[in-house]
């Protein structure tokens, strides 16, 4: 049976919304109960249940975009469009364009806000395909030198014994770059050793956390490395099918992926009898119907299985019981790209990239109050201060107040931690985390409470609602601050207790970290014992 979510995506693309009659027709055609389709349509944020306007602006309301006056811009748009019943301005969760803050999307286009003819530009972009942009050349990430044929790592793996790829990645010390930092080689070997007749490979390209957008650039500029990394993993696991789970807002990146997948098939690196061997493997693109929670690996699996994207209880873990009950390897975009490089150039090469005794290199998303927001590729061991300098320093020469090293889910640190190296363990020792590598810098003079509440509201908005602690706890924390303010020691103590409860009892990482960034910012604001 065709994927229900793929069918809903198709209907939404054709009509702009999910009309009740179309859902009834779909249910009848597929022999599926209507309530099941309605359950999906009501859960995922991408789906509209009312006809769309002629022109719709989606303005990001989260972290970097809020710091760049996103809400004020949304209000300016409303004023500029006053009297136009055919225009809708929506404030939405992170669009993955934090380097273009405030990010505004119309259809599949991201608009430039400095265009004096913005409305005319938006009218033209509403139904146009996304514009192509130049591909960036990444030093040390290109892997294959000029004139050297691609798929060399895959050729080498196909000529060798299964198990060697895992060993090489283990020797390199590669860790997952999506946030969890689990050793990649060990993960591959655990899934390969699981007893089963089928195994699957998935690339998690659903980066939806405020501050995170480096996978977007890898998908656009280096899609072949991601594809080859998945093929290498599939050979190691003896898997025959793979999926790239990509957020629907990444239309230009999806186009680049589709072109790269077609090229891989033409080269014989995907499909039947890969590169003349008896190994077959192919990859499908699955477009996410929206929601930060789908970045959680078991919620992603639920979505792929045409269910509401709610996390599963663990154990069992996906490596044991994953997609359709089969052992499933899930790594993120950057992890697969680095795996390809390591398996082509070797563990020793990966070790040589690091500085000050560290190993490898890391793609970083950098946004906030910096001169040149964007993605940088730096050696592990590079300090936060050096990353800031690489991005031109603080915007307008402002003084740094605080920064989040791992995006919206990480605890904010102060300037005293600028010399902390880019490293999972070093940042954990400093009291935060590297996560996926999403640095957001905040200048002095910012309203830290407003920033903290903005992050907390993001997690409240994106909670799937499955577990009570997350669904109720985050809302109660926000209600308490709205009612009592944050300038009392008692408030901070109460929030700390709520955070401990959420951390211990929430089903997934969303609830476990939801109050942590706010608390770290409140620590930087002097508390009082009364509201005099």
Give the burial class of 262: count Cβ atoms within 10 A of its Cβ; 0-12 exposed, 13-18 middle, 19 or more buried: exposed
Superfamily of domain 55-125: Glutaredoxin (3.40.30.10)
Cα–Cα distance for residue pair 477/69, rounded to 1 Å: 25
Fold agreement between 354-443 and 448-522: no
The pLDDT assigned to 300 comes to 98
Q: What is the pTM of this model?
A: 0.95
Q: Which residue has the tokens 């990482």?
A: 509
pLDDT score, position 532: 35
H or E stretch at 282: strand 282-288
Cβ–Cβ < 8 Å for 478, 457: yes
pLDDT at 297: 96
Count Cβ atoms within 10 A of the Cβ of residue 350 and give its class: 0-12 exposed, 13-18 middle, 19 or more buried. Answer: buried
At 76 the pLDDT is: 87
- What does the domain layout of the chain look like in residue ranges? 4-43, 55-125, 175-345, 354-443, 448-522
Confidence at residue 492, expressed as pLDDT on a 0 to 100 scale: 87
Query: In this predicted structure, what is the pLDDT of residue 92?
Result: 94
| 329 in Cβ contact with 239 (< 8 Å) | yes
- Identify whether the C-beta of residue 303 lies closer than 8 Å to the C-beta of residue 309: yes
Sort 459 into a burial class: Cβ within 10 Å, 0-12 / 13-18 / 19+.
Answer: buried
175-345: CATH number: 3.40.50.11540
> Tens of pLDDT along 417-468?
999 999 999 999 999 999 999 999 999 999 999 999 999 999 999 999 999 9
Question: Rounded to the nearest 5 degrees, what angle is found at the Cα of 477, between the Cα atoms of 475 and 481?
Answer: 115
pLDDT along the chain (532 residues), means of 10: 93 95 97 97 95 91 95 88 90 94 85 67 68 78 80 96 97 94 97 94 96 97 97 97 96 95 98 97 97 96 98 95 98 98 96 96 98 97 98 97 97 98 97 96 96 96 94 95 79 92 95 96 67 36
Q: How far apart are CA 212 and CA 97, in angstroms?
A: 8
Topology (CATH) of 448-522: de novo design (two linked rop proteins) (1.20.1440)
List phi, psi (to 5°) of 454: -60, -45
CATH no. for 354-443: 3.10.20.600
């Amino acid at each position: 049976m065709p994927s229900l979510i793929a069918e809903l995506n198709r209907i939404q693309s054709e009509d702009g919304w999910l009309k009740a009659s179309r859902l009834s027709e779909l249910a009848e055609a597929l022999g599926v109960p209507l309530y099941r389709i309605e359950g999906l349509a009501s859960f995922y944020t991408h789906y509209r249940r009312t006809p769309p306007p002629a022109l719709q602006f989606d303005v990001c309301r989260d972290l970097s975009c809020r710091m760049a006056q996103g809400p004020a811009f949304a209000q300016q748009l409303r004023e500029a469009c006053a009297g136009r019943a055919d225009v809708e301005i929506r404030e939405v969760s992170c669009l993955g364009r934090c380097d273009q803050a405030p990010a505004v999307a119309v259809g599949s286009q991201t608009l430039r806000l400095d265009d004096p003819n913005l409305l005319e530009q938006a009218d033209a972009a509403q139904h146009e395909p996304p514009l192509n942009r130049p591909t960036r050349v990444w030093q040390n990430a290109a892997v294959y030198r000029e004139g050297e044929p691609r798929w060399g790592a895959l050729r080498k793996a196909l000529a060798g014994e299964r198990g060697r790829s895992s060993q090489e990645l283990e020797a390199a010390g590669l860790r997952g770059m999506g946030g969890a930092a689990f050793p990649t080689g060990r993960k591959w070997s655990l899934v390969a050793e699981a007893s089963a007749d089928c195994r699957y490979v998935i690339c998690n390209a659903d980066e939806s956390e405020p501050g995170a957008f480096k996978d977007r650039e890898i998908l656009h500029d280096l899609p072949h490395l991601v594809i080859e990394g998945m093929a290498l993993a599939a050979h190691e696991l003896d898997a025959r099918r793979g999926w790239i789970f990509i957020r629907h807002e990444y239309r230009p990146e999806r186009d680049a992926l589709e072109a790269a997948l077609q090229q891989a098939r033409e080269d014989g690196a995907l499909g039947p009898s890969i590169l003349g061997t008896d190994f077959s493997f192919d990859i499908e693109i699955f477009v996410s119907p929206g929601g930060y929670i789908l970045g959680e690996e078991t919620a992603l699996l639920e979505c792929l299985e045409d269910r509401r994207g709610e996390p599963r209880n663990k154990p069992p873990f996906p490596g044991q019981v994953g997609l359709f009950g089969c052992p499933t390897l899930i790594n993120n975009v950057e992890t697969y790209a680095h795996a390809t490089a390591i398996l082509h150039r070797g563990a020793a090469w990966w070790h040589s990239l690091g500085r000050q005794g560290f190993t490898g290199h890391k793609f970083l998303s950098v946004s906030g109050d910096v001169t040149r927001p964007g993605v940088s590729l730096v050696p592990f061991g590079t300090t936060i201060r050096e990353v800031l300098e690489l991005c031109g320093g603080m915007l307008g020469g402002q003084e740094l107040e605080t920064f989040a090293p791992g995006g919206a889910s990480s605890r904010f640190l102060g300037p005293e931690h600028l010399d902390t190296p880019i490293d999972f363990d070093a940042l954990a020792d400093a009291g935060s985390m590297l996560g996926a590598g999403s640095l957001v810098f905040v200048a002095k003079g910012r309203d830290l409470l407003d920033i903290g509440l903005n992050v907390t509201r993001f997690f409240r908005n994106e909670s799937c609602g499955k577990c009570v602690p997350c669904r109720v706890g985050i809302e109660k924390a926000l209600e308490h601050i709205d009612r009592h303010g944050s300038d009392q020691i008692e408030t901070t103590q109460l929030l700390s207790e709520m955070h401990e409860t959420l951390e211990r009892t929430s089903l997934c990482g969303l609830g476990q970290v939801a109050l942590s960034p706010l608390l770290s910012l409140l620590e930087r604001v002097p508390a009082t014992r009364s509201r005099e």
